[in-house]
Structure 1
Amino acid sequence: MGTKSAWNWITLWSSLLFVVILGFSRLSYGMFLPGIQRVIGGSYGQLGILGTVNFIGYLVGTLCLSPLISRFPDHKHVINRMTCVLLGLTLIGSAFSDHFTQLGLWRFAIGWLSAFATVLVLSIAMDAVRPTERGVASGLIWLGGSAGILVTGLFAPFTIDPSHLQGWRYAWVIMGVFGVIAALGFEFVVTRERGAVKIPAPTESEPRDQESNHVYRLLLNSNKLLFLIASYFFFGWGYIIYFTYLIPYLVNQGIPSLYAGLVWSGIGFAGLFNGWIGGKAIDRWPSGYTLASGLTLGTIGACGVITNNMFFTVLGATTVGLVSFITPPLMTTALLRRHVPHHAYAPSLSIATAFFASGQIIGTIVGGLIVEQYGLPFGVASSAIFMALAAAFAALYGLQQRKLEIRHCLSVVEVEASY
């Protein structure tokens, strides 16, 4: 495919898919938790385990995808097509769950498929965009997740209100149908673009096992991308605690379901601007410092729960949505795209996503234990600790980038002086 501007049909349909991949399939669970609890039962700690199962599936998916792409580099589009359609169907299937085990299996499958879809949709979409506009394109795609959050919040009166016990089931069916439609639309525009432009056959530059080793050395080297990966890991840990237990906290405080849903939608609405602003910012300042600034503000926002004041809690939630919900994934995506070879981008993003998924798994386990031991307010606020660690590692990555730039400038000056 020939490269395009950030504003194109592939980016648009990618964003619609991310409504499902992030907003519906993964984060709607936290929104529907009170309703699910009334039907299936169990404590928030026990239900949090099902969130852990979802992210275990997500981790397994990311670990499987990298060798799969390396083994079948020419079948990326086929794998993505099947994955996105199945993701919509599994959402529909999960709506018919009647007990923990059944819902757990569906959540595992959804996590596994959403991991595949996250990496493949981003990889395919980024290939079609000019390098100078990939930050904006990434922002446009990730804001689909914010739109999914916004829409999920609007379902609140029908999903968490005690008078609508089965509302969460109907919502998941609707979301699944939308997911299948978005998958078909994305496949249509990608197929049309691939048919319109002759695609050169890929060349084998190095054996698959050597390529895989190269990717791991690149990502886990402390002089290259290790701090960026560590930041992504701790962001996954912190943000999932916040998004899993925020709505249960609000409901526990006696907030009407409509208002709780509006808070959730407010996070998504703020995230719409976050996707655009974050994408422009990372194109303008492609640095770990840019990432760290958003994470720092998000840390402050997550601390709003500590005040036990609803105004500051809502203000903090809006801040999280505005500067540190979509920003870390899209900026990590854009930074990786800048600093890894083209052929290694999909495997690199898959491995980075695996670390992110590991953080989410640990986060749901730790968050559930904290909630059980110390209650929902402290449990939600604990997310700020891990967001702060993510900000610190992002800043270290920015410092490392700065040192490398200075070293490069000095080498250039020395070469010029030699002439």
Structure 2
Amino acid sequence: MGNKPAFNWITLWASLLFIVILGFSRLSYGMFLPGIQREIGGSYGQLGILGTVNFIGYLIGTLCLSPLISRFPDRKHVINRMTCFLLGAAMIGSAFSYHSIQLGLWRFVIGWLSAFATVLVLSIAMDAVRPAERGVASGLIWLGGSAGILVTGLFAPFTIDPSRLEGWRYAWAAMGVFGIVAALGFEYVTKKRGVERMSSPTESNPRVQGRVNVYSLLFSPKKLLFLVGSYFFFGWGYIIYFTFLIPYLVSKGIPSLYAGFIWSGIGFAGLFNGWIGGKAIDRWPSGYTLASGLALGTVGVIGVTTDHIIITSIGAITIGLVSFITPPLMTTALLRRHVPHRAYAACLSIATAFFASGQIIGPIVGGVVVERYGLQSGVASGAIFMAISAALACVYGYKQRIPAAEIKNTTETIPVTNSD
């Protein structure tokens, strides 16, 4: 088990990797969408489907990871090493896309690789941290995604301005180079600190892993079903907002610099979100804590319906502050608290698959709404699914009222079945 404080070299480099894994590889697409449309062509609905392709790759990656870890339990670091380097290379490759099919293939590969990297980097970093500080550590890592949003917003004058058609290409290439550097750093500190030797005997023994049925843990209404459901609908709702917010602002005639500032505002607020959310989930490890951030995020999304740029901006910052990084980091921390150590990687992988499924559905649904009712309605539709996510998190918080000792006993006595 880990014995390091929340803030250490491993979590620092993991956070730098999450700049690439979340902020660059996944969410920069929404920021660069106007520039991509001008050069490659297609409607926003059609280009939204390319966002869906990215998350299809993400879903397939999460589904592949669990059996892969079970088959090669001692190769987690090797798989992560290869994944992170390839992710940076794929980001560079995507910068050379000249038609939608080519870009779609790169987005699929990037999604597939980022799914592996998300779970493995978190799992490796969390293994090194003291159990009591894992919420804060998770927040420090996830805030890398906020930093990625902040940086991509600063690129706005070079990526979405009509006078710079190929700006998004240079930005993606630079992001890929940064990803390779971050992968080198993470590899160095984990080897130097001996993390590869920190796995426990139970974690490296597939027979022991087989004693825990992860599906009984995740899909039982008395245990984690409503938490997984909340994660699914959060993925659905937030990705609609992040995919179509910048196109909506551009369509309103907002200058690219100001649109970039709004996007960066989400990322800047998210830097505090990671710290606040990590502290909150360590002190109040409850579904109610998760639901509060989701509810405020729902209100933030609704801000676009006012047709007022200031209210829309305040809503965006609210989302960045309480409901962008908070749901993933809190879900990660809650799973870590309520899932046996030997089953954590598999449970996180499956929960992430449901999150990815929501992100696949989101751009499709959002694109349909955009085509029929316009960009404003498309962005605002994300609030519906954020609200459902908040409601399910409340139900999970209610279910948590079962005494912790009773939960522990039930998880230890789950019947032996296939855990893959």
TM-score, normalised with respect to structure 2? 0.94
Q: Residue 300 of structure 1 corresponds to which residue in structure 2?
A: 299
Unaligned runs of 5+ in 2: 408-420
* Residue aligning to 1:331: 330
State the partner residue of 1:112.
112
- Contact 1:71/1:208 (8 A) holds in 2: no
Which residue matches 1:216? Answer: 215
RMSD between aligned alpha carbons?
1.7
Residue 8 of structure 1: aligned partner? 8
* 1:31 alignment partner AA: M
Within 5 Å, which residues of 2 pair with 1:358-397? Answer: 358-397=357-396
Q: CA deviation at 1:3?
A: 1.6
1:16-415 equivalences in 2 (<5 Å) = 16-194=16-194, 201-202=201-202, 207=207, 210-211=210-211, 214-404=213-403
Structure 1 distance, partners of 2:372, 2:215, is 38
Q: CA 1:247–1:131 in 2, change beyond 3 Å: closer, same or farther?
A: same
- Distance of aligned partners of 1:377 and 1:163 in 2 relative to their CA distance in 1, 3 Å threshold: same
Amino acid at match of 1:30: G
Structure 1 CA distance for aligned equivalents of residues 224 and 277 of structure 2: 20
- State whether residues 2 and 197 of structure 1, in contact with CA within 8 Å, keep that contact through their aligned partners in structure 2: no
2:70–2:206 Cα contact (<8 Å) kept: no
Q: Separation in 1 of the partners of 2:376 and 2:395?
A: 30
Aligned to 2:417: none
- Distance in 1, matches of 2:281 and 2:367, equals 34
Post-superposition offset of 1:216: 1.0
User: Which whole-Å CA distance do the structure 2 matches of 1:13 and 1:407 have between them?
Assistant: 37
Q: 1:259 to 1:123 in 2, by over 3 A?
A: same
**Aligned-partner residue type, residue 139 of structure 1:** G
- How big is the shift at 1:5? 0.3
Are the structure 2 counterparts of residues 204 and 15 from structure 1 closer, same or farther at C-alpha, using a change threshold of 3 Å?
A: closer
Pairs aligned (count)? 407
C-alpha distance in structure 2 between counterparts of 1:155 and 1:77, whole Å? 33
Q: 1:117 to 1:406 in 2, by over 3 A?
A: closer
More helix, by proportion: 1
Deviation at 1:207, TM superposition (A): 3.4
TM-score under structure 1 normalisation? 0.94
AA at the equivalent of 1:168? W
Deviating 4+ runs (over 3 angstroms):
195-211, 403-408
Paired residues of 2:127 and 2:198 also in contact (CA < 8 A):
no
Distance 2:45 2:114 in 1: 24
% identical equivalent positions: 76
For 2:51 and 2:341, the matched residues in 1 are separated by 34
Q: Supply the AA of the counterpart residue of 1:311.
A: I
Which amino acid in 2 is paired with 1:99? H
Change (3 A) 1:101 1:282: same
How far did residue 205 of structure 1 move? Answer: 6.0
Point out the more displaced range, 213-222 or 257-266.
213-222
Are 1:306 and 1:378, in contact at CA under 8 Å, matched by a contact in 2? Answer: yes
Instruction: Give the 3 Å change call, closer, same or farther, for CA 73–133 of structure 1 in structure 2.
Output: same
Structure 2 CA distance for partners of 1:74 and 1:35, relative to 1, 3 Å:
same
Report if the CA contact (8 A) 2:265-2:317 is conserved.
yes
Cα pair distance change 1:261/1:120, threshold 3 Å: same
Show CA shifts across 1:366-396 (max 9, x none): 0110101110000000000000000000000
- Separation in 1, partners of 2:402, 2:319: 30
Q: Distance in 2 between matches of 1:313 and 1:406?
A: 45
Relative to structure 1, the CA distance from residue 2 to residue 332 in structure 2 (aligned partners, 3 Å threshold; closer, same or farther) is closer
* CA distance in structure 1 between the partners assigned to 2:2 and 2:381 by the alignment: 46
Q: 1:170 to 1:205 in 2, by over 3 A?
A: closer
Change (3 A) 1:268 1:203: closer
Does structure 1 conserve the Cα–Cα contact (< 8 Å) formed by 2:203 and 2:341? no
Q: What SS class does the counterpart of residue 6 from structure 2 fall into?
A: coil
Question: Whole-Å Cα distance in 2 between the matches of residues 52 and 318 of structure 1?
Answer: 25
- Per-residue deviation, 1:406: 10
Q: 1:38 to 1:210 in 2, by over 3 A?
A: same
User: What whole-Å deviation, never above 9, does each CA across 1:106-154 have from its counterpart, x for those lacking one?
Assistant: 0000000000000000000000000000000000000000000000000
What one-letter code is carried by the residue in structure 2 that aligns with 1:23? Answer: G
* Match of residue 415 from structure 1: none
- 1:201 Cα shift? 4.7
Shift of 1:206: 6.1
